[in-house]
Chain A
Amino acid sequence: MGVIHVTDRSGQRHTLEALEGWRVMEIIRDWGLPLEGLCGGACECATCHVYVAEEWLSKLHPPSEEEEDQLDTVVTRPNSRLSCQIIWTPALDGLEVTLAPTGS
Protein backbone atom coordinates (compact mmCIF):
# COMPACT_ATOMS: atom_id res chain seq x y z
CA MET A 1 0.00 0.00 0.00
CA GLY A 2 1.17 3.51 -0.76
CA VAL A 3 -0.18 6.83 -1.91
CA ILE A 4 -0.31 9.20 -4.85
CA HIS A 5 -0.77 12.94 -4.59
CA VAL A 6 -3.19 14.50 -7.02
CA THR A 7 -3.73 18.22 -7.51
CA ASP A 8 -7.17 18.85 -8.94
CA ARG A 9 -8.17 21.61 -11.36
CA SER A 10 -8.96 24.02 -8.56
CA GLY A 11 -5.45 23.59 -7.19
CA GLN A 12 -6.40 21.42 -4.21
CA ARG A 13 -4.00 18.59 -3.42
CA HIS A 14 -5.39 15.18 -2.48
CA THR A 15 -3.47 12.22 -1.09
CA LEU A 16 -5.01 9.01 -2.34
CA GLU A 17 -4.34 5.46 -1.28
CA ALA A 18 -2.98 3.49 -4.20
CA LEU A 19 -3.27 -0.18 -5.02
CA GLU A 20 -0.60 -2.20 -6.79
CA GLY A 21 -1.58 -3.12 -10.35
CA TRP A 22 -4.18 -0.38 -10.62
CA ARG A 23 -3.88 2.27 -13.27
CA VAL A 24 -3.36 5.74 -11.86
CA MET A 25 -6.53 6.71 -13.77
CA GLU A 26 -8.48 4.07 -11.87
CA ILE A 27 -7.10 5.23 -8.53
CA ILE A 28 -8.02 8.85 -9.24
CA ARG A 29 -11.50 7.94 -10.44
CA ASP A 30 -12.08 5.52 -7.58
CA TRP A 31 -11.51 8.34 -5.11
CA GLY A 32 -14.10 10.43 -6.90
CA LEU A 33 -11.90 13.10 -8.44
CA PRO A 34 -13.21 14.51 -11.72
CA LEU A 35 -11.20 12.54 -14.23
CA GLU A 36 -13.31 11.44 -17.16
CA GLY A 37 -11.48 8.40 -18.50
CA LEU A 38 -14.06 8.12 -21.25
CA CYS A 39 -12.67 5.04 -23.00
CA GLY A 40 -12.17 3.15 -19.76
CA GLY A 41 -8.41 2.94 -19.97
CA ALA A 42 -8.02 1.73 -23.55
CA CYS A 43 -5.66 4.58 -24.49
CA GLU A 44 -8.25 5.84 -26.95
CA CYS A 45 -9.48 9.19 -25.67
CA ALA A 46 -6.90 11.23 -23.67
CA THR A 47 -9.55 12.32 -21.17
CA CYS A 48 -7.35 11.05 -18.31
CA HIS A 49 -4.56 13.48 -19.18
CA VAL A 50 -2.34 14.49 -16.23
CA TYR A 51 0.88 16.41 -15.71
CA VAL A 52 3.47 14.35 -13.85
CA ALA A 53 5.79 16.21 -11.45
CA GLU A 54 9.29 16.62 -12.96
CA GLU A 55 11.04 14.46 -10.38
CA TRP A 56 8.77 11.52 -11.17
CA LEU A 57 8.95 11.62 -14.95
CA SER A 58 12.10 9.54 -15.27
CA LYS A 59 10.66 6.88 -12.95
CA LEU A 60 7.88 6.10 -15.43
CA HIS A 61 8.28 3.99 -18.53
CA PRO A 62 8.28 6.32 -21.55
CA PRO A 63 4.98 6.79 -23.40
CA SER A 64 4.21 4.26 -26.11
CA GLU A 65 3.54 5.36 -29.68
CA GLU A 66 -0.14 4.71 -28.95
CA GLU A 67 -0.04 7.05 -25.96
CA GLU A 68 1.80 9.73 -27.98
CA ASP A 69 -0.92 9.46 -30.64
CA GLN A 70 -3.57 10.16 -28.02
CA LEU A 71 -1.55 12.97 -26.48
CA ASP A 72 -1.70 14.59 -29.93
CA THR A 73 -5.40 15.15 -29.32
CA VAL A 74 -4.95 17.46 -26.32
CA VAL A 75 -2.79 20.46 -25.54
CA THR A 76 0.19 18.96 -23.75
CA ARG A 77 3.17 20.04 -21.71
CA PRO A 78 6.47 18.21 -21.71
CA ASN A 79 5.35 16.37 -18.55
CA SER A 80 2.01 15.26 -19.98
CA ARG A 81 1.01 11.63 -19.59
CA LEU A 82 -2.18 9.62 -19.80
CA SER A 83 -2.92 8.34 -16.32
CA CYS A 84 -4.47 5.17 -17.75
CA GLN A 85 -1.05 4.19 -19.03
CA ILE A 86 0.68 4.46 -15.66
CA ILE A 87 0.28 1.27 -13.68
CA TRP A 88 0.94 1.85 -10.01
CA THR A 89 3.63 -0.15 -8.25
CA PRO A 90 5.22 0.50 -4.84
CA ALA A 91 8.09 2.17 -6.73
CA LEU A 92 5.60 4.96 -7.49
CA ASP A 93 4.73 5.56 -3.83
CA GLY A 94 4.28 9.31 -3.47
CA LEU A 95 3.76 9.95 -7.21
CA GLU A 96 2.71 13.53 -7.77
CA VAL A 97 0.32 14.39 -10.62
CA THR A 98 -1.92 17.30 -11.58
CA LEU A 99 -5.15 16.95 -13.53
CA ALA A 100 -4.83 18.67 -16.90
CA PRO A 101 -7.57 21.09 -17.91
CA THR A 102 -10.36 19.78 -20.09
CA GLY A 103 -11.69 21.59 -23.14
CA SER A 104 -14.98 23.39 -22.62
Chain B
Amino acid sequence: MTDHIETDVVIIGAGPVGLFAVFELGLLDIRCHVIDILPKVGGQCAELYPEKPIYDIPGFPMITGQGLVDNLMAQIEPFHPTFHLNQMVESIETLGTPEAPLFRVKTAEGETTFTCKSILIAAGGGSFQPKKPPIDQIEAYEGTGVFYAVRHMEMFRDKRILIVGGGDSALDWTVNLQPLAKRLTLLHRRDAFRAAPHTVEKMRALVAAGAMDLHLGQVSALKGPAPVLEGVTVRKDDGSTFDIACDVMLPFFGLTMKLGPIADWGLNLHENLIPVDTEKFETNVPGIFAIGDINTYPGKLKLILSGFHEGALAAQKVHRYVYPEKKLLFQYTTSSTSLQKKLGVAA
Protein backbone atom coordinates (compact mmCIF):
# COMPACT_ATOMS: atom_id res chain seq x y z
CA MET B 1 0.00 0.00 0.00
CA THR B 2 1.29 3.45 -0.83
CA ASP B 3 0.96 6.14 1.81
CA HIS B 4 0.71 9.73 0.76
CA ILE B 5 1.72 12.50 3.13
CA GLU B 6 1.42 16.25 2.73
CA THR B 7 3.73 18.32 4.85
CA ASP B 8 5.70 21.56 4.81
CA VAL B 9 9.17 20.09 4.73
CA VAL B 10 10.79 16.72 4.20
CA ILE B 11 14.14 16.32 5.90
CA ILE B 12 16.38 13.64 4.41
CA GLY B 13 18.67 12.31 7.11
CA ALA B 14 18.02 11.84 10.84
CA GLY B 15 21.54 12.64 12.01
CA PRO B 16 22.21 15.46 14.48
CA VAL B 17 21.92 18.13 11.80
CA GLY B 18 18.61 16.82 10.46
CA LEU B 19 17.28 16.53 14.00
CA PHE B 20 18.25 20.07 14.96
CA ALA B 21 16.69 21.37 11.75
CA VAL B 22 13.38 19.99 13.07
CA PHE B 23 13.84 22.31 16.05
CA GLU B 24 14.68 25.40 14.00
CA LEU B 25 11.75 24.76 11.66
CA GLY B 26 9.44 24.00 14.56
CA LEU B 27 10.11 27.40 16.11
CA LEU B 28 8.84 28.89 12.86
CA ASP B 29 5.67 26.72 12.87
CA ILE B 30 6.93 24.58 10.04
CA ARG B 31 5.93 20.91 10.14
CA CYS B 32 8.27 18.23 8.96
CA HIS B 33 8.73 14.58 8.25
CA VAL B 34 12.17 13.02 8.56
CA ILE B 35 13.34 10.12 6.39
CA ASP B 36 16.38 7.97 7.08
CA ILE B 37 17.71 4.75 5.61
CA LEU B 38 18.87 3.46 8.99
CA PRO B 39 16.48 1.71 11.38
CA LYS B 40 17.18 4.30 14.07
CA VAL B 41 17.78 8.03 14.36
CA GLY B 42 21.21 9.54 14.92
CA GLY B 43 22.97 8.98 11.60
CA GLN B 44 26.72 8.59 11.68
CA CYS B 45 26.82 9.70 15.31
CA ALA B 46 24.71 6.78 16.48
CA GLU B 47 25.89 4.30 13.85
CA LEU B 48 29.64 4.86 13.88
CA TYR B 49 30.50 6.24 17.28
CA PRO B 50 27.65 5.98 19.78
CA GLU B 51 30.07 5.49 22.68
CA LYS B 52 32.84 7.80 21.51
CA PRO B 53 33.13 11.15 23.21
CA ILE B 54 32.65 14.36 21.22
CA TYR B 55 34.36 17.42 22.66
CA ASP B 56 33.31 20.29 20.39
CA ILE B 57 29.58 20.64 20.92
CA PRO B 58 28.92 24.05 22.49
CA GLY B 59 27.80 23.72 26.08
CA PHE B 60 28.95 20.12 26.42
CA PRO B 61 32.58 19.73 27.46
CA MET B 62 32.09 16.09 26.54
CA ILE B 63 29.16 14.14 25.19
CA THR B 64 28.93 10.77 23.47
CA GLY B 65 27.45 10.38 20.01
CA GLN B 66 24.38 8.63 21.39
CA GLY B 67 24.09 11.14 24.25
CA LEU B 68 23.94 13.98 21.75
CA VAL B 69 21.29 12.21 19.70
CA ASP B 70 19.20 11.48 22.82
CA ASN B 71 19.37 15.13 23.86
CA LEU B 72 18.41 16.32 20.39
CA MET B 73 15.42 13.98 20.42
CA ALA B 74 14.33 15.45 23.75
CA GLN B 75 14.85 18.97 22.42
CA ILE B 76 12.66 18.48 19.34
CA GLU B 77 9.95 16.54 21.18
CA PRO B 78 7.60 19.57 21.34
CA PHE B 79 7.43 19.62 17.55
CA HIS B 80 6.39 15.98 17.13
CA PRO B 81 8.21 15.24 13.90
CA THR B 82 7.26 12.02 12.14
CA PHE B 83 10.13 9.68 11.38
CA HIS B 84 10.21 7.32 8.44
CA LEU B 85 13.09 5.00 9.21
CA ASN B 86 14.47 2.13 7.12
CA GLN B 87 13.49 4.08 4.05
CA MET B 88 15.59 5.57 1.32
CA VAL B 89 14.48 8.52 -0.75
CA GLU B 90 14.52 7.31 -4.31
CA SER B 91 13.31 10.29 -6.29
CA ILE B 92 12.39 13.94 -6.06
CA GLU B 93 10.04 15.47 -8.59
CA THR B 94 9.72 19.23 -8.97
CA LEU B 95 6.09 20.29 -9.34
CA GLY B 96 6.03 23.99 -8.41
CA THR B 97 7.76 27.12 -9.66
CA PRO B 98 11.01 28.65 -8.40
CA GLU B 99 8.94 31.22 -6.47
CA ALA B 100 6.52 28.67 -5.05
CA PRO B 101 8.35 25.37 -4.94
CA LEU B 102 6.48 22.14 -4.54
CA PHE B 103 8.01 18.70 -4.56
CA ARG B 104 6.98 15.10 -4.66
CA VAL B 105 9.33 12.86 -2.77
CA LYS B 106 9.20 9.09 -3.23
CA THR B 107 10.92 6.51 -1.12
CA ALA B 108 12.31 3.27 -2.51
CA GLU B 109 9.76 0.90 -4.00
CA GLY B 110 7.17 3.67 -3.74
CA GLU B 111 6.35 2.80 -0.13
CA THR B 112 5.55 6.38 0.75
CA THR B 113 5.17 9.58 -1.23
CA PHE B 114 5.32 13.06 0.20
CA THR B 115 4.25 16.42 -1.16
CA CYS B 116 6.14 19.30 0.41
CA LYS B 117 7.19 22.89 -0.14
CA SER B 118 10.82 22.46 0.79
CA ILE B 119 13.35 19.68 1.18
CA LEU B 120 16.29 19.77 3.55
CA ILE B 121 19.00 17.31 2.62
CA ALA B 122 20.94 16.52 5.78
CA ALA B 123 22.37 13.26 4.56
CA GLY B 124 25.95 13.60 5.81
CA GLY B 125 28.17 11.45 3.63
CA GLY B 126 25.19 9.96 1.82
CA SER B 127 23.21 6.88 2.67
CA PHE B 128 24.55 3.91 4.57
CA GLN B 129 24.79 0.91 2.31
CA PRO B 130 26.36 -2.52 2.64
CA LYS B 131 30.11 -2.51 2.13
CA LYS B 132 31.01 -4.44 -0.99
CA PRO B 133 34.30 -6.28 -0.82
CA PRO B 134 36.68 -5.28 -3.60
CA ILE B 135 36.65 -8.60 -5.48
CA ASP B 136 36.93 -8.68 -9.28
CA GLN B 137 33.63 -9.21 -11.11
CA ILE B 138 31.57 -9.24 -7.91
CA GLU B 139 28.87 -7.07 -9.55
CA ALA B 140 28.31 -9.73 -12.19
CA TYR B 141 27.10 -12.15 -9.51
CA GLU B 142 25.03 -9.73 -7.40
CA GLY B 143 21.43 -10.78 -7.00
CA THR B 144 22.09 -14.33 -8.18
CA GLY B 145 25.18 -15.61 -6.38
CA VAL B 146 26.13 -12.70 -4.14
CA PHE B 147 23.78 -11.08 -1.63
CA TYR B 148 24.53 -8.35 0.92
CA ALA B 149 21.34 -8.90 2.91
CA VAL B 150 18.87 -11.68 3.54
CA ARG B 151 15.34 -10.68 2.63
CA HIS B 152 13.75 -14.12 2.37
CA MET B 153 15.51 -17.01 4.03
CA GLU B 154 13.65 -19.47 1.81
CA MET B 155 15.66 -18.26 -1.16
CA PHE B 156 18.65 -20.02 0.33
CA ARG B 157 17.06 -23.37 1.13
CA ASP B 158 19.11 -26.37 0.02
CA LYS B 159 21.90 -24.13 -1.28
CA ARG B 160 25.58 -24.34 -0.50
CA ILE B 161 25.95 -21.07 1.40
CA LEU B 162 29.17 -19.20 2.07
CA ILE B 163 28.94 -16.49 4.68
CA VAL B 164 31.86 -14.10 4.92
CA GLY B 165 32.56 -11.90 7.93
CA GLY B 166 33.00 -12.01 11.68
CA GLY B 167 30.47 -9.55 13.07
CA ASP B 168 26.94 -9.87 14.35
CA SER B 169 25.27 -10.07 10.94
CA ALA B 170 27.61 -12.80 9.73
CA LEU B 171 27.23 -14.88 12.89
CA ASP B 172 23.48 -14.35 13.25
CA TRP B 173 22.86 -15.44 9.66
CA THR B 174 25.24 -18.35 10.05
CA VAL B 175 23.20 -19.69 12.93
CA ASN B 176 19.85 -18.88 11.25
CA LEU B 177 20.61 -20.23 7.80
CA GLN B 178 22.55 -23.34 8.83
CA PRO B 179 19.42 -25.48 9.38
CA LEU B 180 18.07 -24.90 5.88
CA ALA B 181 21.35 -24.84 3.94
CA LYS B 182 22.57 -27.84 2.02
CA ARG B 183 25.93 -26.98 3.53
CA LEU B 184 26.99 -23.79 5.22
CA THR B 185 30.51 -22.42 5.42
CA LEU B 186 31.61 -19.44 7.43
CA LEU B 187 34.76 -17.70 6.25
CA HIS B 188 36.54 -15.08 8.31
CA ARG B 189 40.00 -13.52 8.16
CA ARG B 190 40.98 -14.59 11.67
CA ASP B 191 39.81 -16.86 14.45
CA ALA B 192 38.25 -14.07 16.51
CA PHE B 193 34.71 -12.80 16.17
CA ARG B 194 33.24 -9.48 17.24
CA ALA B 195 29.70 -10.84 17.48
CA ALA B 196 27.58 -11.64 20.53
CA PRO B 197 29.47 -14.32 22.51
CA HIS B 198 26.53 -16.74 22.72
CA THR B 199 26.09 -16.64 18.93
CA VAL B 200 29.79 -17.33 18.48
CA GLU B 201 29.47 -20.28 20.88
CA LYS B 202 26.51 -21.62 18.93
CA MET B 203 28.50 -21.41 15.71
CA ARG B 204 31.47 -23.17 17.31
CA ALA B 205 29.17 -25.93 18.54
CA LEU B 206 27.79 -26.43 15.03
CA VAL B 207 31.33 -26.67 13.68
CA ALA B 208 32.30 -29.14 16.42
CA ALA B 209 29.23 -31.25 15.58
CA GLY B 210 30.23 -31.31 11.90
CA ALA B 211 27.04 -29.47 10.92
CA MET B 212 28.90 -26.62 9.20
CA ASP B 213 32.41 -25.55 8.20
CA LEU B 214 34.56 -22.71 9.44
CA HIS B 215 37.56 -21.54 7.42
CA LEU B 216 40.03 -18.74 7.96
CA GLY B 217 41.08 -16.62 5.02
CA GLN B 218 39.70 -14.16 2.55
CA VAL B 219 37.96 -14.44 -0.79
CA SER B 220 40.35 -13.54 -3.59
CA ALA B 221 38.27 -14.60 -6.59
CA LEU B 222 34.81 -15.74 -7.56
CA LYS B 223 34.38 -18.82 -9.74
CA GLY B 224 31.70 -19.89 -12.18
CA PRO B 225 30.23 -18.44 -15.37
CA ALA B 226 28.67 -15.17 -14.12
CA PRO B 227 25.98 -14.72 -12.97
CA VAL B 228 26.14 -18.36 -11.82
CA LEU B 229 28.39 -18.70 -8.81
CA GLU B 230 30.06 -22.07 -8.35
CA GLY B 231 32.63 -21.30 -5.72
CA VAL B 232 35.32 -18.97 -4.48
CA THR B 233 39.07 -19.01 -4.17
CA VAL B 234 40.26 -18.21 -0.68
CA ARG B 235 43.66 -16.73 0.12
CA LYS B 236 45.18 -17.39 3.51
CA ASP B 237 47.52 -15.00 5.29
CA ASP B 238 50.52 -17.16 4.34
CA GLY B 239 49.66 -16.63 0.67
CA SER B 240 48.40 -20.14 0.01
CA THR B 241 44.99 -20.59 -1.58
CA PHE B 242 42.17 -23.09 -1.57
CA ASP B 243 38.68 -23.29 -3.07
CA ILE B 244 35.25 -23.47 -1.46
CA ALA B 245 32.33 -24.68 -3.57
CA CYS B 246 29.16 -22.65 -3.02
CA ASP B 247 26.00 -21.50 -4.78
CA VAL B 248 25.67 -18.25 -2.89
CA MET B 249 28.03 -15.96 -1.03
CA LEU B 250 26.78 -13.57 1.61
CA PRO B 251 29.45 -11.02 2.56
CA PHE B 252 28.64 -9.13 5.77
CA PHE B 253 31.27 -6.42 5.93
CA GLY B 254 29.24 -3.73 7.63
CA LEU B 255 28.08 -0.43 6.24
CA THR B 256 29.65 2.36 4.31
CA MET B 257 28.26 5.59 2.93
CA LYS B 258 27.42 6.19 -0.68
CA LEU B 259 25.80 9.19 -2.29
CA GLY B 260 23.20 6.85 -3.77
CA PRO B 261 20.14 8.29 -5.54
CA ILE B 262 21.02 11.87 -4.45
CA ALA B 263 23.18 11.97 -7.58
CA ASP B 264 20.04 11.67 -9.72
CA TRP B 265 18.02 14.52 -8.27
CA GLY B 266 19.17 17.20 -10.71
CA LEU B 267 21.29 19.01 -8.14
CA ASN B 268 24.68 20.44 -8.94
CA LEU B 269 27.36 18.26 -7.43
CA HIS B 270 31.00 18.87 -6.69
CA GLU B 271 32.97 15.76 -5.75
CA ASN B 272 29.89 14.10 -4.24
CA LEU B 273 29.00 17.22 -2.28
CA ILE B 274 26.17 19.66 -2.96
CA PRO B 275 27.21 23.29 -3.51
CA VAL B 276 25.06 25.82 -1.61
CA ASP B 277 25.07 29.54 -0.93
CA THR B 278 26.05 30.68 2.54
CA GLU B 279 23.05 32.90 3.13
CA LYS B 280 20.34 30.25 2.95
CA PHE B 281 22.17 26.97 2.25
CA GLU B 282 19.93 26.51 -0.74
CA THR B 283 21.03 24.33 -3.67
CA ASN B 284 20.73 25.23 -7.35
CA VAL B 285 17.10 24.07 -7.14
CA PRO B 286 14.99 26.66 -5.30
CA GLY B 287 13.32 25.04 -2.30
CA ILE B 288 15.90 22.28 -1.90
CA PHE B 289 18.46 22.94 0.81
CA ALA B 290 21.56 21.01 1.80
CA ILE B 291 22.91 21.28 5.34
CA GLY B 292 25.65 19.51 7.24
CA ASP B 293 28.43 17.34 5.86
CA ILE B 294 26.76 16.85 2.49
CA ASN B 295 27.10 20.47 1.36
CA THR B 296 30.08 22.49 0.21
CA TYR B 297 30.87 26.21 0.02
CA PRO B 298 33.99 28.32 0.43
CA GLY B 299 35.25 27.86 3.97
CA LYS B 300 33.11 24.82 4.74
CA LEU B 301 34.05 22.96 7.91
CA LYS B 302 32.61 19.49 8.42
CA LEU B 303 31.52 20.03 12.00
CA ILE B 304 28.24 19.19 13.69
CA LEU B 305 28.34 22.79 14.92
CA SER B 306 28.37 24.10 11.34
CA GLY B 307 25.43 21.89 10.42
CA PHE B 308 23.36 23.35 13.28
CA HIS B 309 24.12 26.87 12.09
CA GLU B 310 23.24 25.96 8.51
CA GLY B 311 19.90 24.49 9.59
CA ALA B 312 18.97 27.68 11.42
CA LEU B 313 19.69 29.83 8.38
CA ALA B 314 17.95 27.46 5.95
CA ALA B 315 14.83 27.55 8.15
CA GLN B 316 14.53 31.31 7.61
CA LYS B 317 14.23 30.87 3.85
CA VAL B 318 11.99 27.82 4.18
CA HIS B 319 9.61 30.02 6.16
CA ARG B 320 9.24 32.30 3.13
CA TYR B 321 8.26 29.35 0.97
CA VAL B 322 5.84 27.89 3.50
CA TYR B 323 4.30 31.21 4.60
CA PRO B 324 4.80 33.59 1.65
CA GLU B 325 2.31 36.08 3.10
CA LYS B 326 3.75 36.24 6.60
CA LYS B 327 6.56 38.51 7.67
CA LEU B 328 9.14 36.66 9.70
CA LEU B 329 10.05 38.35 12.97
CA PHE B 330 13.22 37.14 14.52
CA GLN B 331 12.74 36.08 18.14
CA TYR B 332 14.84 34.55 20.91
CA THR B 333 13.68 31.52 22.87
CA THR B 334 14.83 33.19 26.10
CA SER B 335 12.47 36.13 25.72
CA SER B 336 9.70 35.25 23.30
CA THR B 337 6.48 34.04 24.92
CA SER B 338 5.22 32.76 21.60
CA LEU B 339 8.33 30.61 21.10
CA GLN B 340 8.09 29.38 24.67
CA LYS B 341 4.48 28.38 24.07
CA LYS B 342 5.55 26.33 21.08
CA LEU B 343 8.13 24.65 23.27
CA GLY B 344 5.51 24.01 25.94
CA VAL B 345 7.43 25.95 28.59
CA ALA B 346 5.51 29.27 28.77
CA ALA B 347 3.70 29.98 31.99
Contacts and interface: CB of A to CB of B under 8 A. Distances in A.
Interface of A: 38-39, 42, 44-47, 68-69, 71-76, 78, 100-104
A71 B167 CA distance: 11
Given A39-B49, A44-B49, A103-B256, A75 B188 contact: no
Nearest to A47: B256
B134 A101 contact: yes
Interface stretch (B17-25, B189-197, B276-284, B325-333): B189-197
Contact of B218 (A38, A76, A100, A104): A76
Most buried by B among A68, A102, A103: A103
A45 B131 CA distance: 10
Contacts of B132: 103-104
A83 B49 CA distance: 18
A58 B189 CA distance: 21
Interface string B164-201: 01110000000000000000000011101010000000
Question: What is the interface of chain B mostly: helix, strand, loop, or mixed?
Answer: loop
A73 B44 contact: no
Report the interface size class on chain B. 20 to 34
Most buried by A among B52, B138, B220: B52
Given A39-B49, A72-B190, A75-B220, 16 more contacts: A38-B125, A38-B256, A38-B257, A42-B52, A44-B48, A44-B52, A45-B256, A68-B192, A72-B188, A73-B165, A74-B134, A75-B133, A75-B134, A103-B134, A104-B132, A104-B138
Contacts, number: 61
B167 A72 contact: yes
A79 to B, nearest CB: 10
Query: Which 3 A-B residue pairings sit nearest by Cβ, starting from the closest?
Result: A103-B132, A101-B134, A73-B254
A69 B125 CA distance: 22
Contacts of A69: 194
Given A101-B134, A103-B133, A72 B52 contact: no
